[in-house]
Amino acid sequence: MSITFNPTRRALLGGACSLAAMPLTTRFALAEGNGDNRFVAIILRGAMDGLDLVQPYGDPAFRVLRPELAMTPDSGLYDLDGYFGLHPAARDLYPLWRRGELSFVHAVSTPYRNARSHFDGQDILETGGNGRAGQDGWLNRAIGLSQQGRLRAIDVASESDLILQGEQDAEMWSPKADVPIAADEIQFFEALYSRDKDFARAFRQARSADMSADEIFAGEKIEASTEGLARLAGGFLRENYRIAAFSINGWDTHAGQFDLFARSTNNLSTAIMTLRREMGPAAWGKTVVLAMTEFGRTARQNGTGGTDHGTGGCAVVAGGAFPGGRVMGQWPGVGDGELYANRDLMPTGDIREVAAAMLYRQFGLDAAALSTNIFPGLDFSASSVFVRA
């Protein structure tokens, strides 16, 4: 076959990646390595209210701040340790807590302060910047530092997730496109891309991921839902992939939080439980799932039954590779004089330290590199409490 078509390099790579596109509503990314450990990053977009998910019912000031949102074990909370309680919408996760496969890190945030933009907050969360967003994602940079062999990444998004953007190879599946491709068309693109090793590799990766997805769903239609996405991610992680990332939207609860938060929390629970089921015991036992959000919400509920953009938040750590059953972090309290700017949960920890510790534990990344290349300005060492846990 003689082909003289010569489009731009960027267009060809985009075309190769789009061939594996699937109709998903949530953004999704994967990477493949040679080790046995797994890591899943879940971005909770919209500023998840950590004070609602893990409520400090033992602090009498909490009920004063949230007379309509605060609960107790008598009104539905799942008691965690006699002081904190888990929101009833996360009931499906409670068995993981009892098995030691679920923990929470309270009062953490990125270095983002005194500004409350979702866009800026998410950019800083995903690029790992020290108060300012960078140009590439920290998970992409981490893949580049792995000593476990060539890493493979894939992003499912209408616009690629920043956490995996960067110099490292990444495939992309767009939720807006579903492009069936015939055998003769595959041959055409193989011939077309054979002139460039990068394009040829991208095309092979896209086809491989697409075929793997078909195997995971075994002929069923891939559901455009959080559960469908988690099932897909879990299937990949069960086999050859070692890192996955995806997003769950719907956490911006300015009004009517009671119902909205329960719906999003149910999605998070479904995602984690689906990952666990799809991966199976062996892979789950070597996995850490880290769910994180761009910032927390105000400690006080507002006049419309919701909460506004805040600062300190809560991270969720699940999986069989991290000893769970604990609420970690330095709890600052929510009483008079204990709030940040007299309105938010005081951040006492850096969410980047939690992420760095999980990468260190799972993939043995160099601690110095985690403090510089991956999370600039982070004071991280192997003595971190999240490493020693």
- Give 97-112 pLDDT, tens digit per residue: 999 999 999 999 999 9
Strand positions, DSSP E, 136-263: 152-156, 171-173, 241-248
pLDDT at residue 230 in the model: 86
In this model, does residue 174 exceed pLDDT 60?
Answer: no
In this model, does residue 161 exceed pLDDT 50?
Answer: yes
* Tokens encoding 222: 């891939």
Give the model's confidence band at 187: pLDDT under 50 very low, under 70 low, under 90 confident, else very high.
confident
Angle ∠(329,83,276) on CA atoms, nearest 5 = 65
Supply the DSSP symbol for 68: T
Q: How much is the average pLDDT of 41-48?
A: 96
CATH 3.40.720, domain 46-178+221-387, yes or no = yes
In this model, does residue 35 exceed pLDDT 80?
Answer: no
Mean pLDDT of the chain: 86
* Tokens encoding 304: 């419309």
Burial class (CB in 10 A: 0-12, 13-18, 19+), 250: middle
Whether residue 78 contacts residue 91, with contact meaning beta carbons closer than 8 Å, is answered with yes
In this model, does residue 27 exceed pLDDT 70?
Answer: no
pLDDT at residue 112 in the model: 94
* Tokens encoding 99: 């098995």
Delimit the domains of the chain by residue range: 46-178+221-387
Lowest mean pLDDT among 69-73, 123-127, 180-184: 180-184
Contacts of 336 (CB under 8 A, 6+ apart): 61
pLDDT at residue 216 in the model: 75
pLDDT at residue 228 in the model: 80
Q: How much is the average pLDDT of 61-65?
A: 97
pLDDT at residue 158 in the model: 52
Contacts of 185 (CB under 8 A, 6+ apart): none
More confident position, 313 or 21: 313
Nearest of 208, 290, 304, 299 to residue 259 by alpha carbon:
304
- Model confidence over 204-254: pLDDT tens digits? 766 776 777 777 777 777 776 888 888 888 888 888 788 888 899 999 999
pLDDT at residue 88 in the model: 98
More confident position, 231 or 380: 380
Q: Between the CA of residue 293 and those of 161, 233, 249, 367, what are the distances in Å? A: 14, 20, 10, 23
pLDDT at residue 224 in the model: 67
pTM: 0.88
DSSP per-residue letters across 96-138 = HHHHT-EEEEEEEE-S--S---HHHHHHHHHHT-SSS--SS-H
% of the chain beyond a pLDDT of 90: 60
pLDDT at residue 150 in the model: 60
pLDDT at residue 31 in the model: 59
Give me the phi and psi of 149, to 5 degrees please.
Answer: 105, 180
Q: How many helices (H) and strands (E) does the chain have?
A: 13, 13
pLDDT at residue 154 in the model: 61
More confident position, 139 or 145: 139
In this model, does residue 171 exceed pLDDT 70?
Answer: no
CA distance 241 to 235: 9
Given phi > 0 = left and psi -120 to 50 = alpha, else beta, which region is 76? left
